[in-house]
Amino acid sequence: MILILLPDSDYDPTESAVPWQALINAGFEVCFATPSGKVAYADKRLTELGFGVLSTFFMTRKRDIDSYQKMALSESFNRPLKLSDLTLDGHLNVEGILVPGGHAQGMKTLLESAHAQTLITDAFKKDIPVAAVCHGVLLLARSIDPETGKSVLFNRKTTALPKWMELFAWYATKPKLGDYYRTYPVSVEDEVKASLQHTRNYRLGPILPFRDKPGGGGPVCIVRDGNYLSARWPGDCHTLARDFVALLKEQI
C-alpha cells in the first residue's frame, strides 16, 4: 500500500493527483492520511478560483485538474486515515510514502505535524521509498532522527521549491493576494538547505520553469538518493510520478 500524506486543506492538486493517477494505473493500492482524519481538499485557488490575468502562469492545468477530480471521487480519498493512528509497525503494509506540497496556510497542518514527522523518520530508518515535492520536502527537513539529532535529509541529496520561484510567485500575486504564496518568512530552499550537512547537496535544477510532459520527460529536476525522490514544483510531477512508480517496482 502506498500512503499519500495530505494536510487538512490547501495542498497542490497536481503534486498529489498526478502521482496518484500513475500509482493507480500501475496497479498499486493507495491510501490517504490527514492530521484530522477527515477528507481534505486541495487549494481552491488552484482548482476553482484562479488568479485573474495571472491564471495562465499559476493555475493548475486542465489535465491535472481532471486527475484531481478523479482522485477526489475515489473511495480511499473519502475514507482517509488519521495520522496519529498510524505507525509503520502496525497492521498497514506501507510500501511507499508520497508527500505533496502546497503553499497556502492549510499546509501547515501537515508540515508542523509531529505525527507526520515521526512517520517520515521511521520510513527513512526502514528504507521505505519516500517521494516529496515542493513544500512537501519541508516535512522531511523537519523530521529529526532522535538517535542523531539531525534531519533525515542531513546526509541526502535533494531538491525542493527554489527560492526564486517562491519569491517570484509571491511578488507577482502580493498586490491582490498578500502573503498567499509565502507560507513562512523563511523560504523553502533556505530551510531545506539548513537541514543538510552540505548545501551543495541541494539541487537547484534548470533555471527556466518549463513543465514536463504527461508520462514524464523534459527540463525537470528529479533527485534520487537511495529510496528517496524529490522534485521542485508541479511542473516536475509527471516525471516524479513515473520515477516513483519505477522505484516502487524495484522493491518488488
Residue 228 carries which DSSP code? E
pLDDT in tens, 181-202: 999 999 999 999 999 999 999 9
User: Tell me, what's the pLDDT at 107?
Assistant: 99
Query: 222 and 229 in contact (C-beta within 8 Å)?
Result: yes
Would you write out the chain's pLDDT as a tens digit for each of its 252 residues? 999 999 999 999 999 999 999 999 999 999 999 999 999 999 999 999 999 999 999 999 999 999 999 999 999 999 999 999 999 987 789 999 999 999 999 999 999 999 999 999 999 999 999 999 999 999 999 999 999 999 999 999 999 999 999 999 999 999 999 999 999 999 999 999 999 999 999 999 998 888 998 888 888 999 999 999 999 999 999 999 999 999 999 997
User: Tell me, what's the pLDDT at 168?
Assistant: 96
Q: What CATH number does the domain containing 133 carry?
A: 3.40.50.880
- Interhelix angle 237-250/13-25, nearest 10 degrees: 40
Domain count, the chain: 1
Where in the sequence is the domain holding 39, given as residue range(s)? 2-250
Backbone angles phi, psi at 69, to 5 degrees: -65, -35
Q: How far is CA 178 from CA 104, 140, 166, 183, in A?
A: 11, 27, 14, 11
What is the pTM (predicted TM-score) of this model? Answer: 0.97
